[in-house]
Structure 1
Amino acid sequence: MVDVLVIGGGNAALCAALMAREAGASVLLLEAAPREWRGGNSMHVRNLRCMHDAPQDVLLDAYPEEEFWQDLLKVTGGNTDEHLARFVIRESSTCRPWMRKHGVRFQPSLSGTLHLSRTNAFFMGGGKALVNAYYRSAENLGVQIRYDSPVDAVEMDGPRFVAARVGAERIEAKSCVLACGGFESNLEWMREAWGRNERGEWPADNFLIRGTRFNQGVLLKAMQQAGADIIGDPSQSHCVAIDARAPLYDGGIVTRVDCVSLGVMLNREALRFYDEGEDFWPKRYAIWGRLVAQQPGQIGYCIIDSKAVSRFMPPVFPGTKANSLPELARALGLPEENFMKTLQDFNAACRPGSFDHTVLDDCATQGLAPAKTHWARPIDTAPFYGYALRPGITFTYLGLKTNDEAAVHFDGSPSGNLFVAGEMMAGNVLGKGYTAGVGMSIGTAFGRRAGTSAAKAALAARSAHAAA
């Protein structure tokens, strides 16, 4: 019997496996994906949001605890557990030396991400390099790793973990860490969570999944049925507006289109529906997937002119280009009359100001609903560009309720040997909304804590058995 069983293969699972092994426990990690697709959504990450009170190598200036907390409070609208959120924030300030020890390397922010150079530490080689480094370190430390091993069920004795099942195989362990993601790739569950809208559409049918196809929510559902305490709204997720041409799965971060704050967003009726300049893009980009999901056909169109080009990270697919606004409307298949009226009204409402995309500037519209409160400039300089966007789901927020020991709860009480980390518990901190890099902060903090807690429980059980 192994001491600690880790179910999952992404950042949180790997952090748990490494910490448990460092604490002296024997560890088996089960990854549902084949080796070439290992790592879950962590393959696609870029950075980690980090608290720091002074400059640290790749991080500029300071990003103190209270500012991080206020940023999180704002994007979640207060729908967060402050104690657990502050635990994540404080852990983010001390984890990087440990990450380096396990082969993770950091680099300064590149052009297009300089606005994050104070708050976020970027991984050299991105998420794939981070995942590969952790797997190498885990193998070197003696963690057993099995691929193509989706766990179908978990055997419980009340609140205590007993065994996991992979097909007909039964795997016992003294303790277990659940870190196998949300349910975003389970279309049936997503349809159930979102339901039909007032137009009779199933919005989930038009969602694209930015990450892994293996996050089916099997064990999340199993734990619900086993009586675990659940937290979060099943319709809430890290939901980004991404290029409508992206693949159904694993498009990753390159499918994101980051020019929304520099232009206007229209629905398929060529009408604006929200303030594109509400706040800085890293704080508000993750609201746009949900906003687009609420539009007819779950599609939106970002319209910019040549003044915006080179001011945002270039997306992987080029935009639709036209030399006039009517030509662009026709190329995008939007109603030309509505399109021209919307753009003319917007241009007329823009008031002169000092444009500066690095601050909340004074370029705003006047007398227009919805307003654009910052970075509002007339869209009047050819060539013009349009990007069709659809909701891109990164991970869902419905999860297992936990505490700062990462224990799964049953009827308000923590399990003694079942722990949770990563996207399966992120809803404790993220009731809604998102800010860049915080998913990695949560996964790293709770992955490390879950591994420590699981090892402690397993080693205590081993000692008790030896004494008996």
Structure 2
Amino acid sequence: MTEQYDIAVIGGGNAALCAAMTAAEAGARVLILETAPKPYRGGNSRHTRNFRCMHSGPLGPLVEDYGEEDYFADLMKVTDGKTDEHLARLAIRQSEQCLPWMQEHGVRFQPSLSGTLSLGRTNAFFMGGGKSLVNAYYRTADTLGVEVKYEAAVTHLELNGDRIEWVDFTHQGKTQRITPTAVIVASGGFQADTDWLTRAWGDPAKNFLIRGTPYNRGVVLADLLDQGVQSIGDPTQCHAVAIDGRAPKFDGGIVTRLDCVPFSIVVNKNAERFYDEGEDVWPKRYAIWGRLVAAQPDQVGYVIIDSKSLNLFMPSVFPPLKADTLEDLAQMMDLPGDKLAETVANFNAACGDTSGFHPTELDGVSTSGIKPPKTNWARPITEPPFYGYSLRTGVTFTYLGLKVDENAQCGTDKGPIRNLWAAGETMAGSILGQGYLAGFGMTIGTVFGRIAGREAADYAN
């Protein structure tokens, strides 16, 4: 290619777009290289629904207030303290100014969804979901003069000393090379490379489903790590949730997630419970269930509810299995009928007073005398018809990534790389050591995308 660009942004999702728009507004000539075809642009961002946002009072669709300490405490709880506090607090503090910036760049918000996502205070929901956000950003980027190449798969970034010399990519059947002044990597994790997942996790990973885009294969990540760019995170740590076992192998998206766990019991293929289904409100606990299911035989679990719980959560994309008796439901799910009936009977006997049941907050309605306990929303499963779902581990994105500083800049053991920045899922492991908090991935991508765009433009100018 003969065109000269100030900044090449690798990736086409939320973080890439925030970086590209910010850099373009600072006067830089920006090229986005998106591996996916245009209809599938946006990476995992097109499957998102909301953005977790600190605010000191009502803000946009958000009610009440959600301060830095509350936000950070929520993050510490789900990560068990495995986070870079400085970068985490940076993301949290800057999230408040991001919401009006998002609106200025075309994003529209709506009131919080109901069901188990009781997030009106903490998370701002996108009107039309992530696909609308992605489309709005592409429209805005176009008006700012950002160029986009689709089906442009980056294969190599040439690192020479402390700078990236060139970027190689394939496009329309040809290999092309550009020499931008600065590079921003926002191309996600490696979760769609199931061979890499299997090397990290072992054979159980062969049974995992990939919730997000099939185009996040970690090609750029691997290329940079092989050249000595500093990494962060554990390859076995990821955002993994329990999803409907009938979901496709790739790209099922957020609609395949099941939100019924708090009102259920969950058993493995031996019809045995294995964890507290009511440990905390769902947005703080849904992301642990992928790993829990991954640890069960054949990496599968089964949700069992009765008719009184059917309307307490957002509807599933696939209807549940339905039977008038637990034995019939067990047969439909290929579970041992006698054992399932025994497990349910023991659970029911352990349930106490349910008069305080409250589906949208911790209610303390718990079991006694059984292990594992159920510490909230514990009601007997007694009212037919009975319903069941199969669960599989659904991986959203991996946490092994590029280590960055507070300016989103990458480096090697010898020091910073002068013209390389990273944003979004490809550097989220800098903040997320384990676990996940609903909407926080979009926070990381927005905050560090804007930082990367600003810093890269400053360098290019």
- If the TM-score is normalised by the length of the shorter chain, which range does it land in? over 0.9
Please give the secondary structure, in 2, of the residue aligned with 1:151: strand
Equivalent of residue 179 in structure 2, options 172, 175, 181: 172
The letter for the 1-side match of 2:276 is: D
Cα distance per residue 1:120-152 (max 9 Å; x no partner): 000011000000001011111101110010101
Cα distance per residue 1:167-195 (max 9 Å; x no partner): 32111110000000100000110000102
* Contact preservation (8 Å) 2:242, 2:394: yes
Provide the rounded CA distance (Å) in 2 between the counterparts of 1:19 and 1:81.
25
Moved over 3 A (4+): none
Deviation of 1:362 (Å): 2.1
Question: Percent identity between the aligned chains?
Answer: 58
* Contact preservation (8 Å) 1:268, 1:301: yes
Deviation of 1:101 (Å): 1.5
TM-score by length of 2: 0.97
Deviation of 1:361 (Å): 1.1
Q: Which residue matches 1:186?
A: 193
Task: Answer yes or no: is 1:24 the counterpart of 2:27.
Answer: yes
Provide the rounded CA distance (Å) in 2 between the counterparts of 1:151 and 1:140.
25
Provide the rounded CA distance (Å) in 1 between the counterparts of 2:104 and 2:361.
36
Provide the rounded CA distance (Å) in 1 between the counterparts of 2:294 and 2:98.
36
The letter for the 2-side match of 1:43 is: R
Q: Which residue matches 2:43?
A: 40
TM-score by length of 1: 0.96
Please give the secondary structure, in 1, of the residue aligned with 2:343: helix
* Contact preservation (8 Å) 1:229, 1:412: no
Q: Which residue matches 2:6?
A: 3
Q: Which residue matches 1:374?
A: 376
Task: Answer yes or no: is 1:364 the counterpart of 2:371.
Answer: no
Show the 5 A alignment for 1:150-169.
150-167=153-170, 168-169=175-176
Deviation of 1:360 (Å): 1.4
The letter for the 1-side match of 2:413 is: D
Task: Answer yes or no: is 1:456 the counterpart of 2:453.
Answer: no
Deviation of 1:158 (Å): 1.7
Provide the rounded CA distance (Å) in 1 between the counterparts of 2:294 and 2:250.
17
The letter for the 1-side match of 2:312 is: R
Q: Which residue matches 2:114?
A: 111
Q: Which residue matches 1:307?
A: 308
Task: Answer yes or no: is 1:443 the counterpart of 2:450.
Answer: no
Provide the rounded CA distance (Å) in 2 between the counterparts of 1:60 and 1:114.
15
Task: Answer yes or no: is 1:343 the counterpart of 2:350.
Answer: no
Q: Which residue matches 1:223?
A: 224
Q: Which residue matches 1:199?
A: none
Provide the rounded CA distance (Å) in 2 between the counterparts of 1:89 and 1:29.
27
Deviation of 1:282 (Å): 0.5
Q: Which residue matches 2:212?
A: 211
In structure 2, stretches of 5+ residues that fail to align are none
Q: Which residue matches 1:466?
A: none
The letter for the 2-side match of 1:21 is: A
Please give the secondary structure, in 1, of the residue aligned with 2:167: strand
Provide the rounded CA distance (Å) in 1 between the counterparts of 2:360 and 2:114.
13
The letter for the 1-side match of 2:316 is: P
Provide the rounded CA distance (Å) in 2 between the counterparts of 1:455 and 1:226.
24
Task: Answer yes or no: is 1:326 the counterpart of 2:327.
Answer: yes
Q: What is the aligned length? A: 453
Show the 5 A alignment for 1:113-152.
115-152=118-155
Please give the secondary structure, in 1, of the residue aligned with 2:125: strand
* Contact preservation (8 Å) 2:271, 2:336: yes
Cα distance per residue 1:209-251 (max 9 Å; x no partner): 1110000001111111110111111011110100011111111
Equivalent of residue 98 in structure 1, options 91, 96, 101: 101
Deviation of 1:113 (Å): 5.9
Provide the rounded CA distance (Å) in 2 between the counterparts of 1:453 and 1:302.
47
Provide the rounded CA distance (Å) in 2 between the counterparts of 1:412 and 1:275.
46
Please give the secondary structure, in 1, of the residue aligned with 2:157: strand
The letter for the 2-side match of 1:274 is: Y
Please give the secondary structure, in 1, of the residue aligned with 2:309: coil
Please give the secondary structure, in 2, of the residue aligned with 1:152: strand
Deviation of 1:413 (Å): 2.6
Provide the rounded CA distance (Å) in 2 between the counterparts of 1:9 and 1:57.
26
Deviation of 1:254 (Å): 0.7
**Alpha-carbon spacing, 1:305–1:286, altered in 2? closer, same or farther (3 Å):** same
Deviation of 1:414 (Å): 2.2
Cα distance per residue 1:426-452 (max 9 Å; x no partner): 001111101110000000000010000
The letter for the 1-side match of 2:412 is: F
The letter for the 1-side match of 2:446 is: T
Show the 5 A alignment for 1:218-297.
218-297=219-298
* Contact preservation (8 Å) 2:116, 2:359: no
Deviation of 1:412 (Å): 6.4
* Contact preservation (8 Å) 2:84, 2:431: yes
In structure 1, stretches of 5+ residues that fail to align are 196-201, 460-468
Please give the secondary structure, in 1, of the residue aligned with 2:69: helix
The letter for the 1-side match of 2:154 is: V
* Contact preservation (8 Å) 1:419, 1:454: yes
Deviation of 1:114 (Å): 5.9
